[in-house]
Amino acid sequence: MRKLLFLLLIVSGLVFSQTPTPPPQAVAAGFTSLNFDQEPGQTWDIGYGTDGHQWNAGQWWQAVPPASDFTNVSGDETLTDAQYATTGINLCTQYHDYSGGIYFQGGYFEAMMNCTDWSAFWLYCAAGPWHTTVAGQPLTYNNEIDIIETDPGAAYANIVTTTIHENTGGFGVPDAFNPNNNNAISNGPVCGAWHIYGVLWTQTQVTWYVDNVEVCTYPTFTSTWQPVTLILGVGPGGVNGSASTVIPPTNNVAWVRVWETPGYVNPTPSPNSTLTPAPTPSAPQNLRIVPS
């Protein structure tokens, strides 16, 4: 069977070193303190199934990609995923054994990316590995905010897919999400060009931005206000079902930043011994595809 390579290219030299400043929409919401960042020129601290790292290769339900899939050439970090021929590759801030990591609850999240195929920048329920979904108890649901998902199809050249999920995976409780989640931008194309993708997340509202211009907003679900892990990813095809146009697909990331209120303390959800099954979302709404 033909193997595809999936690349997540971490660009450290594209944007010259400068002191980051929060965008106006973050400042207006009070999110002025830089809580988490990956800046141009910084080494990407990636763990391969070991704890204590800023980034972690693969998510808890995936096999850990080998270190040979990650190379550094001229200061650029390239993630090459030859193992998961149909599943894509992810970096996340939760440890692979879900014993800890860096978690967030509300804030302003942004990244500068040059995407191809099904690239993604998203937030997913930190407690997903261990809590049990109970109907009528929203804080047992798997919350998710997709800051950006892309599709290389010609019909989606200027479209960003921006989604908030009530309960990814279902587990007996049907998911719900914002209906108008495909939004046009005026300065496309989306794929093959550099853009800054951001989301403003408060207890009552989620608002998405591209290049600091608002593209849509939607009220939160009760389940949304839970700690999340931050994830970067890329996979074959497109979020709306289009075929791949770049082989291997790439997601080029210049920088990532999270802004919080001054004095903010990151949440620390604690796992218990109950492990729920891996999510099995319905394509094309989600990037996560469990390796077979």
pLDDT digits (tens, 9 = 90+) for 192-218: 999 999 999 999 999 999 999 999 999
**Is residue 265's pLDDT more than 80?**
yes
pLDDT of residue 129: 86
**Is residue 186's pLDDT more than 60?**
yes
Only one residue has tokens 């014993």, namely 99
pLDDT of residue 275: 44
**Is residue 282's pLDDT more than 70?**
no
Output b/e per residue, 1-39; b: 16+ Cβ within 10 A.
Answer: eeebebbbbbbbeeeeeeeeebbebbeebbbeeebbebb
Indicate the residue type of 96. Answer: H
Report which of residues 266 and 247 the model is more confident about.
Answer: 266
Output b/e per residue, 130-153; b: 16+ Cβ within 10 A.
Answer: bbebeeeebebbbbbbbbbbbbbb
pLDDT of residue 270: 64
**Is residue 61's pLDDT more than 60?**
yes
- 259 near 107, Cβ under 8 Å? yes
Q: Which CATH number fits domain 6-260: 3.30.450.40, 3.40.190.10, 2.60.120.200, 1.10.630.10?
A: 2.60.120.200
Say if strands 89-92 and 55-57 run parallel, antiparallel, or are unpaired.
antiparallel
Tell me the C-alpha distance between 154 and 164, whole Å.
24
Kindly state the tokens that stand for 97.
Answer: 């054994």
**Is residue 43's pLDDT more than 80?**
yes
Mean pLDDT of the chain: 83
The predicted model scores a pTM of: 0.88
| pLDDT grade for 77, boundaries at 50, 70 and 90 | very low
Only one residue has tokens 């199934």, namely 49
* Bridge partners (DSSP) listed for residue 229: 124
**Is residue 54's pLDDT more than 80?**
yes
| pLDDT grade for 271, boundaries at 50, 70 and 90 | low
